[in-house]
């Protein structure tokens, strides 16, 4: 399949998955509001949303399998996009499943939340595809606006309202940085197309102050979205205040999509200015890894602990952006799969054990879980080990960290210091990940502990399928790793061909 992106019908062809998702979301909006607001209708909307996600998934796999290619243009048609799409859709399906069970528990009737989840996923898929800074901006806005609303969904909760307002204000602020950065980069290079920017930004002319300011602003804007230290201040409060399935969605999918766009822009647009952004990004990665983990150590609430842990993971993922080559991109994809499954699974356990009103979510409430719910405790242990990167018991988590370290050490500019910091940060993170395991397995169950409710079917499936997948591909990582190796951005595939041309031109 070949798409000429300048012809509108073929552009639509290259966007079939995105179109299915967004049109599906619009039709679902009609289903959601066509009648009285009841729990049954909300549940139906949620089920249909999962159906739309699976249809989109099928379209993505069809295009991926058909090895679709396209002319250079506003969106990318490459394996990196399809792989990221699959991760985003999996996260959306899981979040929707959890949301259905969570709404039932909290008596939260909101059929529109599923529409917003789908539209946010649509923005994320655009981010994964974008090869133009304008599309990056619109994708981020689509994703963010939906997330602002989702975090304030439960209007009975004052913490939810605080989270939504905080997220909205800081999100709008960071969007300003991003947009200003895009404008400055456009001013310096005369284009918003990242391939054109990449061909203009070469070693000789990267000292243009306009371009440097633009790159700086872009770094700030992206780092706000991925919650890297010191731009992480909003994350713990927002993650803590939002409904737990939405927190899981934000911690996994929103972060993944913002990172995918970050990585693609950095790999394709700014390899010529490496000297300018290398040091700031190294510092950001190091600060995020250490800062996120050190603060996570002191958390008492499970949700806050997972929020800081997701900040720390942003730091590990930033290492792949610093590396900014094919190896980094494939390590990034592998890491994202493991991180998404483990985070989603951990939040699913939090939902399974939570009580109405978001109670029973302190780490201390998990004491002695092994004695009453051994399978649940075992699954949670797998997720914690996976986030820690423990071999065998952590499944894919170990290989995810392994590939990131491998990419860091084999980069054109070897990032030995970052690899060392990554290992040290992981050791620090053992303090709280293993702390949860310790509490669950070693502490006795307190006499006044609440009886665990039966786990709803959807949450049950999410928990055990995630744990099973993590363990299975932890034993057999080769297939996944090979797939990740092939799924690099299109700019990486063509760059060896472009290099001799550039060399010839300079002669």
Partner 1 sequence: MNTLLYTFHFYLFGLISIASAVAFVTRKSPVAAALWLVNTMFCLSALYVMLDAQFIGAVQVLVYAGAIMVVFLFVVMLLNLGQASDVTDMRGLGGRLTAGLVGLAMLAELFALSRIKFPRLTGAMGDHANVVNPISAPLFHEYLLPFEVTSVVLLVAVVGAVVLAKRGPGAS
Residues near partner 1 (CB under 8 A): 6, 8, 11, 15, 22, 26, 29, 37, 74-75, 107, 109-110, 112-113, 115-116, 119-120, 122-123, 126, 132, 134-135, 138-139, 141-142, 145-146, 148-149, 152-153, 155-156, 164
CA distance 327 to 408: 9
Residues 6+ apart with CB under 8 A from 302: 350, 361, 362, 363, 365, 366, 436
- How near is the Cβ of 122 to partner 1 at its closest, in Å? 7
Residue among 164 and 219 whose Cβ is closer to partner 1: 164
CA distance 49 to 437: 34
Residue among 145 and 229 whose Cβ is closer to partner 1: 145
- The backbone torsions φ and ψ at residue 75, rounded to the nearest 5 degrees and listed phi first, read -125, 160
- How near is the Cβ of 198 to partner 1 at its closest, in Å? 18
CA distance 247 to 464: 20
Under DSSP, is residue 54 helix (H, G, I), strand (E, B) or coil?
helix
Residue among 139 and 394 whose Cβ is closer to partner 1: 139
- How near is the Cβ of 357 to partner 1 at its closest, in Å? 14
Residue among 29 and 421 whose Cβ is closer to partner 1: 29
Measured CA distances, 416 to 30, 135, 150, 412 (Å): 54, 35, 40, 11
Contact 109, 80 (CB under 8 A): no
- How near is the Cβ of 214 to partner 1 at its closest, in Å? 19
Residue among 123 and 245 whose Cβ is closer to partner 1: 123
Residue among 126 and 471 whose Cβ is closer to partner 1: 126
- How near is the Cβ of 51 to partner 1 at its closest, in Å? 20
- The backbone torsions φ and ψ at residue 190, rounded to the nearest 5 degrees and listed phi first, read 80, 15
Token pair 């799409």: residue: 85
Residue among 253 and 484 whose Cβ is closer to partner 1: 253
- How near is the Cβ of 85 to partner 1 at its closest, in Å? 16
- How near is the Cβ of 102 to partner 1 at its closest, in Å? 16
The alpha carbon torsion through 182, 186, 191, 193 (nearest 10 deg) reads -10
**DSSP label at 363?**
G
CA 192-197-199 angle, to 5 degrees, is 150
């Amino acid at each position: 399949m070949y798409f000429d992106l300048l012809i509108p019908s073929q552009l639509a062809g290259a966007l079939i998955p995105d179109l299915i998702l967004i049109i599906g979301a619009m039709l679902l909006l009609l289903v959601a509001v066509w009648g009285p607001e009841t729990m049954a209708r909300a549940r139906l909307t949620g089920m249909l949303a999962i159906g739309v996600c699976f249809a989109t998934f099928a379209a993505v796999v069809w295009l991926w399998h058909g090895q679709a290619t396209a002319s250079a243009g506003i969106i990318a048609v490459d394996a990196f996009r399809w792989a990221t799409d699959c991760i985003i859709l999996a996260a959306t399906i899981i979040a929707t499943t959890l949301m259905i069970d969570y709404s039932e528990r909290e008596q939260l009737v909101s059929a529109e939340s599923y529409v917003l989840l789908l539209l946010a996923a649509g923005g994320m898929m655009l981010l994964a595809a974008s090869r133009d800074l304008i599309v990056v901006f619109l994708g981020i806005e689509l994703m963010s606006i939906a997330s602002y609303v989702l975090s304030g969904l439960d209007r009975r909760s004052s913490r939810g309202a605080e989270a939504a307002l905080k997220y909205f204000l800081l999100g709008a602020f960071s969007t300003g940085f991003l947009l200003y950065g895009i404008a400055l980069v456009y001013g310096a290079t005369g284009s918003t197309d990242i391939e054109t920017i990449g061909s203009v930004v070469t070693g000789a002319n990267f000292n243009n102050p306009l371009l440097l300011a633009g790159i700086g602003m872009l770094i700030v804007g992206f780092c706000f979205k991925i919650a890297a230290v010191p731009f992480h201040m909003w994350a713990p409060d927002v993650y803590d205040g939002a409904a737990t399935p939405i927190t899981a969605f934000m911690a996994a999918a929103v972060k993944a999509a913002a990172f995918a766009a970050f990585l693609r822009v950095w790999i394709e647009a700014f390899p010529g200015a490496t000297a300018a952004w290398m040091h700031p990004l190294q510092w950001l990665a190091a600060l995020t890894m250490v800062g996120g983990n050190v603060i996570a150590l002191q958390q008492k609430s499970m949700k806050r602990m997972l929020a800081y842990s997701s900040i720390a993971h942003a730091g590990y993922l930033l290492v792949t952006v610093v590396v900014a080559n094919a190896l980094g991109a494939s390590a990034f994809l592998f890491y994202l799969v493991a991180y998404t499954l483990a985070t989603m699974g951990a939040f699913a356990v939090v939902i399974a054990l939570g009580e109405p009103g978001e109670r029973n979510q302190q780490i201390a409430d998990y004491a002695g879980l092994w004695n009453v719910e051994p399978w649940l405790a075992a699954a949670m242990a797998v997720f914690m080990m996976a986030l820690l990167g423990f071999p065998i018991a952590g499944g894919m988590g170990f290989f995810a960290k392994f590939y990131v370290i491998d990419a860091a050490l084999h980069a054109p500019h070897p990032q030995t210091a970052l690899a060392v910091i990554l290992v040290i940060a992981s050791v620090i993170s053992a303090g709280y990940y293993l702390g949860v395991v310790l509490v669950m397995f070693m502490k006795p169950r307190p006499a006044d502990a609440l009886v665990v409710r039966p786990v709803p079917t959807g949450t049950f499936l999410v928990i055990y399928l995630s744990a099973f997948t993590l363990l299975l591909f932890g034993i057999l990582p080769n297939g996944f790793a090979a797939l990740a190796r092939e799924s690099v951005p299109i700019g990486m595939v063509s760059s060896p061909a472009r290099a001799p041309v550039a060399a010839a031109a300079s002669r």
